[in-house]
């Protein structure tokens, strides 16, 4: 069936956000202003869901004639779209999931701008930042009154092989059969597969209120457009708040194969779990993939052991080619989380007790100067080393797919990563393995490294 390439439409919200102030409309309507540019980019990513591209600049160029503006009418606010991607429509009518996510973007941008960033968070305390994440999730109606923890966060790459994607669906299916819900970064690949598998399992179990929570942020959304299974989408202001939202709202994590972004996520959670204050906090963590991915996890496991030590390795299990065991391990872990939260009078819907050091909370905007200044040396506490290693991988993600990072690389050349010779040799070996396995870009794309590893 052939669909129109471009569609003009006037779209109304579904059930919420029907009224905006004149100030909000004015700021979002200033075509030369940063807020309108942010809304334009995120809206295009939503409308272009299902795209095979992970190049935000290419998407912007392809749809350079796309326009969006807010129309205030007597009966509420609507969005006027011009030259929108035709894949978001069926017979001229916008697909319901796309319409919901489009207004989720508007909701989160307005709330973040008017209620969060207006406060000024440059010198915010750790507790204040945790409360900000809570408020963002609450405003998006993420929280539920539940009797048992059930939210499984699934991390993994958008650029994965077909057999790896199929395995993520099987794991999601087993999780769904055990009445567990799914949270991912909301994009394609390992972010879509678990949701797809769980959706089928929920249908088998006659679960009509299954949750498929997608957490993203403006810098990544254009490269990883939300998949249509997501039924709760939240746009966090930056990668650090996105990562904190995963571990505060989630009850356990399953990690599938991926590239630099997945390594960043692994280092984030391990750095937190390695902090002495979290020594007794249960947090189920499983690395898993099909048998063809066993070597990948051996590389990751070896890197963690050599750089962070055996204590870090003890924080997770590796399960290969056994989706049933993965689901059973997470289901058992949910009971451990439930008992701990009850004993410590902590909420099931938000993990207040988990201590997240400030090094993992303050936004890190990768620039060439900041990347050079990363402390990648062994002579420091392990969780602090994990924090700067996380920033190194975050920089590579930015240089690979984020519009601002790509622009920096184009203007100034690759990021220079400095540090201990032995440490960086292990880092470089892992990154080269990602490149060989085509985990840095979608299969078929030529990868030009956005970084140089330079030993001191």
Percent helix, strand and coil across the chain, each to the nearest 5: 50, 15, 35
Note whether 300 and 378 are same-domain residues: no
CB-side neighbour CA atoms (13 Å) of 217: 19
> For the residues 170-180, what does the mean pLDDT come to?
98
Note whether 390 and 300 are same-domain residues: no
Note whether 306 and 334 are same-domain residues: yes
Note whether 37 and 165 are same-domain residues: no
Query: Is pLDDT above 50 for 61?
Result: yes
Query: Is pLDDT above 80 for 115?
Result: no
Q: Tens of pLDDT along 366-420? A: 999 999 999 999 999 999 999 999 999 999 999 988 888 989 999 999 999 999 9
Q: What is the pLDDT of residue 154?
A: 98
405 to 261, 400, 426: CA distances (angstroms): 14, 7, 24
**Apex 411 CA angle, 408 and 415, nearest 5:** 50
Q: Is 393 a domain residue?
A: yes
Q: Count other Cβ atoms within 10 Å, centred on residue 31.
A: 10
Q: What is the pLDDT of residue 18?
A: 52
Note whether 184 and 299 are same-domain residues: yes
Q: What is the pLDDT of residue 243?
A: 97
Q: Is 159 a domain residue?
A: yes
The H or E element containing residue 7 is: strand 6-11
> For the residues 411-430, what does the mean pLDDT come to?
94
Note whether 203 and 334 are same-domain residues: yes
More confident call, 155 vs 87: 155
pLDDT range class, residue 2, cuts 50, 70, 90: very low
Note whether 385 and 263 are same-domain residues: no
Q: What is the pLDDT of residue 55?
A: 65
Q: Tens of pLDDT along 295-338? A: 999 999 999 999 999 999 999 999 999 999 999 999 999 999 99
First to last CA, the chain: 58
Q: Give dist(CA 88, CA 85) in Å, integer.
A: 6
Note whether 26 and 104 are same-domain residues: yes
CATH (domain of 190): 3.40.50.450
Q: Give dist(CA 256, CA 269) in Å, integer.
A: 14
Note whether 54 and 147 are same-domain residues: no
Query: Is pLDDT above 70 for 360?
Result: yes
Q: Which of 87, 119, 151 is at the close of a domain?
A: 119
> For the residues 145-160, what does the mean pLDDT come to?
93
Q: What is the pLDDT of residue 440?
A: 82
Domain extent, residue 231, equals: 139-343
Q: What is the pLDDT of residue 361?
A: 95
Q: What is the pLDDT of residue 49?
A: 75
Note whether 188 and 326 are same-domain residues: yes
The partner residues of 418 in beta bridges, in order of sequence, read 454
Starting at the edge strand found earlier in the chain, the sheet holding 67-73 runs 6-11, 76-85, 67-73
Note whether 102 and 181 are same-domain residues: no
Structure token pair of residue 312: 């870090």
Q: Is 126 a domain residue?
A: no
Q: What is the pLDDT of residue 20?
A: 66
More confident call, 196 vs 65: 196
Q: Is 130 a domain residue?
A: no
């Amino acid at each position: 069936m052939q669909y129109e390439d471009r569609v003009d439409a006037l779209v109304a919200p579904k059930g919420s956000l029907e009224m905006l102030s004149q100030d909000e409309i004015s700021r979002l309507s200033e075509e030369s202003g940063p807020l309108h540019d942010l809304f334009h980019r995120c809206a295009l990513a939503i409308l272009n869901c299902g795209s095979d591209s992970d190049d935000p600049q290419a998407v912007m160029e392809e749809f350079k004639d796309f326009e969006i503006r807010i129309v205030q009418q007597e009966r509420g606010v609507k969005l006027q779209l011009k030259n929108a991607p035709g894949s978001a429509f069926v017979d001229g009518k916008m697909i319901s999931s796309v319409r919901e996510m489009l207004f989720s973007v508007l909701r989160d941008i307005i709330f973040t701008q008017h209620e969060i960033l207006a406060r000024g968070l440059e010198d915010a305390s750790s507790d204040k930042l945790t409360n900000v994440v809570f408020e963002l999730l609450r405003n998006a109606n993420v929280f539920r009154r539940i009797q048992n923890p059930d939210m499984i966060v699934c991390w993994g790459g958008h650029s994965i092989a077909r057999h790896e994607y199929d395995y993520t669906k099987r794991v999601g299916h087993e999780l769904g059969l055990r009445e567990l819900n799914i949270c991912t970064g909301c994009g394609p690949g390992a972010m879509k597969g678990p949701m797809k598998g769980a959706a089928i399992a929920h249908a088998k179990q006659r679960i009509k209120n299954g949750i498929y929570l997608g957490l993203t942020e403006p810098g990544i959304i254009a490269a990883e457009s939300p998949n249509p299974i997501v039924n709760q989408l939240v746009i966090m202001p930056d990668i650090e708040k996105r990562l904190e939202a995963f571990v505060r709202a989630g009850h356990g994590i399953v990690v599938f194969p991926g590239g630099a972004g997945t390594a960043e996520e692994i280092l984030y959670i391990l750095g937190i779990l390695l902090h002495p204050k979290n020594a007794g906090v249960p947090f189920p963590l499983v690395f898993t993939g099909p048998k063809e991915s066993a070597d990948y996890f051996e590389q990751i496991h070896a890197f963690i052991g050599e750089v962070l030590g055996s204590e870090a390795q003890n924080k997770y299990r590796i399960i290969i080619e056994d989706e049933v065991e993965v689901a059973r391990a997470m289901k058992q872990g949910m009971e451990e989380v439930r008992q701990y939260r009850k004993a410590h009078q902590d909420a099931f819907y938000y993990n207040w007790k988990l201590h997240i050091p400030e090094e993992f909370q303050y936004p890190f905007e990768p620039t060439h100067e900041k990347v050079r200044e990363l402390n990648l040396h062994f002579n420091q506490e392990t969780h602090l080393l994990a924090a700067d290693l996380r920033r190194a991988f975050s920089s590579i993600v930015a240089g690979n797919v984020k519009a601002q990072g790509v622009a920096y690389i184009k203007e100034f050349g690759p990021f220079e990563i400095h540090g201990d010779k032995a440490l960086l040799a292990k880092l470089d070996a892992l990154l080269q393995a990602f490149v060989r396995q085509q985990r840095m870009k979608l299969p078929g794309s030529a990868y030009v490294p956005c970084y140089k590893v330079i030993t001191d």
